[in-house]
A and B are shown apart, each in its own frame.
Chain A
Amino acid sequence: DAKTTQPTSMDCAEGRAANLPCNHSTISGNEYVYWYRQIHSQGPQYIIHGLKNNETNEMASLIITEDRKSSTLILPHATLRDTAVYYCIVRVDRAAGNKLTFGGGTRVLVKP
């Protein structure tokens, strides 16, 4: 699976949009971009995933650049409950084993 690079931490203001970048310059054509988050002392939670088109669901939007070498997770209106570590993972879908390899993630602190 391709390696990802994320900022170690970032702060954002409550009620504002939070934009979380992720670089995956070695991504292959059949690899998807997944985002998970982990609130303190809990298991990770799936947020969204995509291949090349932008995606949106009730939690967030995922913007993938045309060359697919980077992406941005957007939390449209950050709340205090969105404080968590956010993990960007790229992997082949339906791959044998379906392993998820977690990197360091971005520690997001939403401030009042």
Chain B
Amino acid sequence: GAVVSQHPSWVICKSGTSVKIECRSLDFQATTMFWYRQFPKQSLMLMATSNEGSKATYEQGVEKDKFLINHASLTLSTLTVTSAHPEDSSFYICSARDSLAPTYNEQFFGPGTRLTVL
């Protein structure tokens, strides 16, 4: 089955630093990837849609200059949290669509990255 990986699985950083999270589709091509954020005991909230070779589309209220998304290849999208602050501490999850599959609209989720900003 389609596998999506994320790296790192968890990260602790100091306030003011930047953190990069990678999302990879391991056995399929993904022209579109999605980034979600989940706070404790809350549901997933879509942050942005990452499109290979073009600019990401951000949801309302998500700062594009703070959450930089790069989707430079068909198997890799990165989310960089710039100048992270404690309120950015959250569980970040990516998902990807298999561009070539008949059920290409299905989303396969990564295992998530837990970010803690001190």
**B49 in contact with A102 (CB, 8 Å):** no
The answer, among A42, A43, A94, A105, for a CB contact under 8 Å with B43, is A105
Chain B's closest residue to A85 (CB) is B43
The interface-forming segment of B13-21, B64-72, B76-84, B109-117 is B109-117
Given A41-B114, A43-B112, A93-B105, decide whether A100 and B46 contact each other with a Cβ distance below 8 A. yes
Interface of A: prevailing SS: loop
**B107 in contact with A100 (CB, 8 Å):** yes
Is B24 among interface residues, defined by CB-CB distance under 8 A? no
- Chain B 37-71 interface residues, beta-carbon cutoff 8 Å to A: 43-46, 49, 57
Q: Could you list which residues of chain B lie within 8 angstroms of chain A, going by C-beta atoms? A: 4, 6, 32, 34, 36, 43-46, 49, 57, 91, 93, 95, 97, 105-112, 114
Q: Could you list which residues of chain A lie within 8 angstroms of chain B, going by C-beta atoms? A: 38, 41-46, 87, 93-95, 97-105
